[in-house]
């Protein structure tokens, strides 16, 4: 997708007046938060599990090279193939080569943010191969020519009536008089349409929630079972995953699984958790003839050893955006990047560079709710602040903000001057505020007074009044 | 309310970090803080070499200026037994963020860490350190309390103000929905992203109004000014005050952004 992160403000302003979107966003706020809370409350060891999950990933990141090699060995031993892709372009080329080699005309896809990151669908389409998204949400946005607005609920920005009209527009072979008033009728219609596509597909492409070094297994979690059909019905199964998805053992996987679904949707477990190790063996009743894993770096190894390394613990549960007041206000598309919300505000600059994405880490109140709910205990606000530091070092912020800040810092570092000016200014401002004690508008304060009144100062500063009070007290001299 | 042990020993010497917003906009909060800390059995000092804790620079990525400001604050306050600020975000800046500014500079890092251990947000200082259970204040009317983000999530300030408010004679606490959700202030965020900030504070004031309380309280003046400004803009009658004003029984001054319509 086209990166429009630096138009975040304009995107956001549009989103704020989009009535359909605002209605849909109400569901994010109401749905996810209470469910996560309920499931976290029901598990006394939830916080201890979060610590464990964090420690597992920290250990992996400290020894990533070793675990990646061990993983590759196991995949190969099971009859699969590992392909190393340094860039998005490499990954696209590898996947296309596999598809071409087996003469694929259509591929089915399980939900995968990584294939969004490498813009795989556009690439396949441009080369005459039709990608078919099989996750309901992904299917809907594919019909609409959109991109996911949320990492686990790609179509969360839409309302049911919008989906109904899309289905009527596209599924013209079905009875025009059919009843689609219930959400479940939309689901069964999508199933019906997609079912035929599975059997026609030559290749199934999925992402991975985990890659297990101990066994060479890739794991996906879904609620619709579409991923299983995608990876077992095609002749070839291609897993596209980024390098930090590695975990050492099956045991580690189950530890992290215990916090993943709870944080994401409030489920104890997702409906389907599917483990794939290599292609179909002679004794297996089904499975693909070929099993490929495309391991994508795309800037991640460069994050190791930097202040952004912790971001590589992310398991893409979406809790940070589900709890983010900015995300609630503007939705995922406003971020103008593949990954929205707080995790996107940290990850996108790592992947795409801060020059093109500086708006994202700035668009946060630092309320800290994302970090408070992140199952992997990723210090998201701290890392957003680090991005602001990188921007500041390189003078990337707007000149007005920079000079304003410097002028303020000049006084903040000179208490005497500061007291002098504050002591002169505040009483005047206070008088200007008059009996209402507030301003509806004030020069230079337009950013504030556009939407709210500015409280007037009470009068003399605290320092002035305190000094007067002390001088009246003889013993305090 | 002062313990016997406290009376016997030397009274704790507290440096009040008034915060820039209290100094400039609402000295009443400073005096309410002084009263509460003195009533808890401490002596209060207000060093003149204080301006701001440095958050505007820190959150804009300007580490060099932040560090200079932090050195100034540490030098001015490290001699006291405790450093108390009537703001969760400023107290958290001193307590949680200062040490990290000096990473790699062993001498300053150690100094900043020792300093940070003395720093407290006002209400948690009263409740958790000085074991104050009742401030002896009274108020006619109902209040609702907004949990400012840094105080809540970085310092764990949640029950302390509610417990002390429960002891204020005549005050009836009416919880609002989502009291722990951000008000949209966020320092410079509220002017840099004014459209988004407005959307967030609009939800907040809707919840405040719906609580049916006469008065909104919180422990951070930035958030209070944001919410008060929005409440007044939409014509709400809810009065807005810092929680210290009510706990100290000092509600004679006009509320933040004035009263009425
Ligand atoms: S940053 Fe944390 S909360 Fe956000 S998606 Fe990743 S793991 Fe989940």
The C-alpha of B220 sits at a distance from chain A's nearest C-alpha, in angstroms, of 13
Average pLDDT of the residues of chain A: 93
Per DSSP, the residues of A301-330 read GGGTTSTTGGGGG-----HHHHT-HHHHHH
Mutate to test the pocket of ligand 1, among A342, A344, A346, A377 (most ligand atoms within 8 A of CB): A342
CA distance A186 to A280: 33
Closest CA to A221 of A233, A210, A232, A237: A210
Cβ atoms of residues B121 and B85 within 8 Å: yes
The C-alpha of A343 sits at a distance from chain B's nearest C-alpha, in angstroms, of 18
Residues in chain A: 477
Position B1 scores a pLDDT of 41
Per DSSP, the residues of B201-226 read HHHHHHHHHHHT-SEEEES-HHHHHH
Instruction: State residue A77 phi and psi, 5-degree precision.
Output: -60, -30
Residue A375 pLDDT greater than 90, yes or no: yes
Report CA torsion sign: A26, A30, A32, A33: positive
**By CA distance, what is A425's nearest residue in B?**
B24
CA distance A416 to A423: 10
CA distance A48 to B87: 31
Task: Give the Å distance between the CA of A376 and the centre of ligand 1.
Answer: 7
CA distance A263 to A33: 9
Cβ atoms of residues B151 and B119 within 8 Å: no
Q: Which residues pair with A81 in a beta bridge?
A: A292
Q: Do A452 and B199 touch (CB under 8 A)?
A: no
Q: Do A325 and B22 touch (CB under 8 A)?
A: no
What Rg do the C-alpha atoms of chain A give, in angstroms? 27
Taking the model in full, what pTM does it have?
0.95
CA distances A410 to A27, A150, A302, A418, B52, Å, are 46, 42, 36, 9, 12
Paired tokens of A462: 């605290």
Nearest CA residue ID for atom 2, ligand 1: A374
CA distance A248 to A57: 9
Closest CA to A108 of A237, A274, A295, A221: A237
CB atoms within 10 A of CB B145: 23
Q: Enumerate domains of chain A plus CATH numbers.
A: 1-41+311-397 (1.10.1060), 43-298 (3.40.50.10420), 414-472 (no CATH)
**Using a 6 Å cutoff on CB, does residue A208 contact ligand 1?**
no
Instruction: State the alpha helices, DSSP H only, in A127-285.
Output: 136-144, 160-170, 183-200, 226-233, 250-264
Scored b (16 or more CB within 10 A) or e, A38-77 reads ebbeeeeebeebbebbbebbeebbeebeebbebbbebbee
Nearest CA residue ID for atom 6, ligand 1: A314
Report the half-sphere exposure of A127 (CA within 13 A, side-chain side).
19
CA distance B221 to B122: 13
- pLDDT tens, residue by residue, A277-326: 999 999 998 899 999 999 999 999 999 999 999 999 999 999 999 999 99
Q: Do B60 and A448 touch (CB under 8 A)?
A: no
Q: Do B258 and A435 touch (CB under 8 A)?
A: yes
Write out chain B's pLDDT in tens, 261 residues: 444 444 546 899 999 999 999 999 999 999 999 999 999 999 999 999 999 999 999 999 999 999 999 999 999 999 999 999 999 999 999 999 999 999 999 999 999 999 999 999 999 999 999 999 999 999 999 999 999 999 999 999 999 999 999 999 999 999 999 999 999 999 999 999 999 999 999 999 999 999 999 999 999 999 999 999 999 999 999 999 999 999 999 999 999 999 864
Q: Do B196 and A372 touch (CB under 8 A)?
A: no
Scored b (16 or more CB within 10 A) or e, A153-192 reads bbbbbbeeeebbebbeeebeeeeeeeebeeeeebeebbee
Nearest CA residue ID for atom 4, ligand 1: A320
Position B7 scores a pLDDT of 52
Closest residue to A460, CB basis, from B27, B59, B256: B27
Residue A238 pLDDT greater than 60, yes or no: yes
Nearest CA residue ID for atom 8, ligand 1: A317
Q: Which residues pair with B169 in a beta bridge?
A: B138
Paired tokens of A304: 């190791």
Q: Do B195 and A426 touch (CB under 8 A)?
A: no
Residue A155 pLDDT greater than 70, yes or no: yes
Q: Enumerate domains of chain B plus CATH numbers.
A: 3-127 (3.40.50), 133-260 (3.40.50)
CA distance B97 to A39: 32
Task: Give the Å distance between the CA of A263 and the centre of ligand 1.
Answer: 9
Give residues 16 to 35 of B whose Cβ lies within 8 Å of A: 18, 20, 22-28, 30-31
Q: Chain A within 8 Å of B188 (Cβ-Cβ)?
A: yes
CA distances A62 to A1, A15, A110, A241, A306, Å, are 32, 41, 30, 19, 12
Position A232 scores a pLDDT of 78
Task: Give the Å distance between the CA of A246 and the centre of ligand 1.
Answer: 16
Residue B175's SS3 state is: coil
Position A395 scores a pLDDT of 82
Closest residue to B258, CB basis, from A12, A365, A438: A438
Closest CA to B231 of B206, B196, B200: B206
Position A476 scores a pLDDT of 46
Q: What is the mean pLDDT of residues A21-38?
A: 92
Paired tokens of A102: 């087996």
**By CA distance, what is B73's nearest residue in A?**
A413
Residue A454's SS3 state is: strand
Position A198 scores a pLDDT of 83
Q: Do A438 and B232 touch (CB under 8 A)?
A: yes
Q: Chain A within 8 Å of B54 (Cβ-Cβ)?
A: yes
Cβ atoms of residues A430 and A456 within 8 Å: yes
CA distance A422 to A429: 10
CA distance B32 to B55: 23
**Using a 6 Å cutoff on CB, does residue A319 contact ligand 1?**
yes
Q: Do B51 and A459 touch (CB under 8 A)?
A: no
Position B8 scores a pLDDT of 46
Q: Do A455 and B228 touch (CB under 8 A)?
A: yes
Give me the percent of chain A exceeding a pLDDT of 70.
99
**Using a 6 Å cutoff on CB, does residue A375 contact ligand 1?**
yes
**Using a 6 Å cutoff on CB, does residue A314 contact ligand 1?**
yes
Q: What is the largest CA-CA distance in chain A?
A: 97
Taking each continuous run of H as one helix and of E as one strand, the counts in chain B are 16, 8
Q: What is the mean pLDDT of residues A157-186?
A: 93
Whether ipTM tops 0.85, in short, is yes
Nearest CA residue ID for atom 7, ligand 1: A314
Residues in B touching A342 (Cβ below 8 Å): none
């Amino acid at each position: 997708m086209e990166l429009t992160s630096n138009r975040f403000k304009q995107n956001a302003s549009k989103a704020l007046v989009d009535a359909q979107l605002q209605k849909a966003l109400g569901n994010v706020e109401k749905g996810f938060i209470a469910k996560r809370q309920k499931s976290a409350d029901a598990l006394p060891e939830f916080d201890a599990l979060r610590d464990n999950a964090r420690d597992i990933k920290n250990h992996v990141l400290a020894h990533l090279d070793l675990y990646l090699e061990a993983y590759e060995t196991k995949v190969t031993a099971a009859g699969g193939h590992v392909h190393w892709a340094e860039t998005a372009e490499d990954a696209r080329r590898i996947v296309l080569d596999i598809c071409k080699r087996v003469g694929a005309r259509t591929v089915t896809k399980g939900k995968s943010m990584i294939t969004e990151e490498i813009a795989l669908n556009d690439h396949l389409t441009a080369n005459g191969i039709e990608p078919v998204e099989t996750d309901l949400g992904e299917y809907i946005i594919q019909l609409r020519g959109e991109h996911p607005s949320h990492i686990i609920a790609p179509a969360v920005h839409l309302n049911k009536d919008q989906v109904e009209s899309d289905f009527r527009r596209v599924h013209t072979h079905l009875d025009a008089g059919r009843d689609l008033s219930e959400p479940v009728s939309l689901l069964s219609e999508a199933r019906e349409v997609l079912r035929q596509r599975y059997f026609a597909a030559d290749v199934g492409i999925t992402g991975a929630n985990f890659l297990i070094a101990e066994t060479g297994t890739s794991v996906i979690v879904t609620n619709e079972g579409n991923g299983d059909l995608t990876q077992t019905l095609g002749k070839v199964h291609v897993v596209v995953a980024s390098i930090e998805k590695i975990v050492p053992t099956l045991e580690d996987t189950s530890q992290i699984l215990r916090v993943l679904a709870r944080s994401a949707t409030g489920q104890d477990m997702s409906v389907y958790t599917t483990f794939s190790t290599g292609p179909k063996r002679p004794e297996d009743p089904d499975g693909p003839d070929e099993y490929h894993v495309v391991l994508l770096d795309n800037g991640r190894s460069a994050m190791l050893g930097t202040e952004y390394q912790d971001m590589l613990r992310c398991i893409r549960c979406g809790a940070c955006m589900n709890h983010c007041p900015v995300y609630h206000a503007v939705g995922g598309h406003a971020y103008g990047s593949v990954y929205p919300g707080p995790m996107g505000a940290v990850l996108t600059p790592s992947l795409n560079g801060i020059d093109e994405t500086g708006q994202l880490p700035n668009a946060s109140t630092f309320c800290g709710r994302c970090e408070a709910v992140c199952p992997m205990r990723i210090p998201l606000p701290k890392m957003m602040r680090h991005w602001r530091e990188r921007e500041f070092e390189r003078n990337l912020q707007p000149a007005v903000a920079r000079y304003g800040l410097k002028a303020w810092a000049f006084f903040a570092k000179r208490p005497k001057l500061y007291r002098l000016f504050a002591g002169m200014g505040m009483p005047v401002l206070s008088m200007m505020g008059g009996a209402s004690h507030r301003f509806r508008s004030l020069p230079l304060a337009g950013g504030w007074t556009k939407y709210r009144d500015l409280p007037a100062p009470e009068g003399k500063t605290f320092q002035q009044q305190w000094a007067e009070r002390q001088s009246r007290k003889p013993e305090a001299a | 309310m002062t313990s016997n042990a406290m009376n016997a020993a030397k009274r704790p010497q507290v440096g009040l970090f008034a915060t820039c917003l209290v100094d400039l906009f609402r000295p009443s909060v400073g005096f309410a803080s002084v009263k509460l800390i003195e009533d808890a059995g401490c002596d209060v000092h207000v060093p003149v070499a204080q301006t701001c804790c440095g958050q505007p620079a820190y959150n804009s990525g300007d580490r060099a200026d932040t560090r200079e400001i932090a050195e100034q604050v540490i030098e001015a306050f490290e001699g006291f037994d405790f450093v108390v600020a009537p703001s969760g975000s400023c107290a958290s800046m001193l307590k949680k963020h200062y040490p990290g500014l000096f990473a790699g500079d062993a001498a300053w890092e150690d100094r900043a860490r020792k300093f940070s251990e003395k720093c407290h947000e006002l209400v948690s200082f009263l409740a958790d350190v000085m074991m104050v259970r009742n401030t002896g204040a009274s108020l006619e009317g109902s209040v609702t309390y907004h949990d400012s983000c840094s105080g809540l999530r970085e310092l764990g300030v949640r029950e302390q103000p509610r417990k002390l408010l429960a002891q204020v004679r005549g005050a009836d606490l009416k919880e609002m929905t989502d009291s722990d959700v951000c008000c949209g202030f966020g320092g410079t965020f509220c002017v840099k992203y004014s459209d988004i900030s407005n959307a967030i504070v609009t939800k907040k004031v809707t919840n405040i109004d719906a609580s049916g309380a006469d008065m909104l309280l919180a422990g951070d003046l930035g958030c209070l000014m944001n919410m008060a400004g929005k409440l007044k803009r939409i014509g709400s009658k809810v009065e807005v005050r810092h929680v210290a004003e009510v706990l100290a029984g000092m509600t004679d001054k006009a509320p933040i952004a004035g009263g009425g319509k």
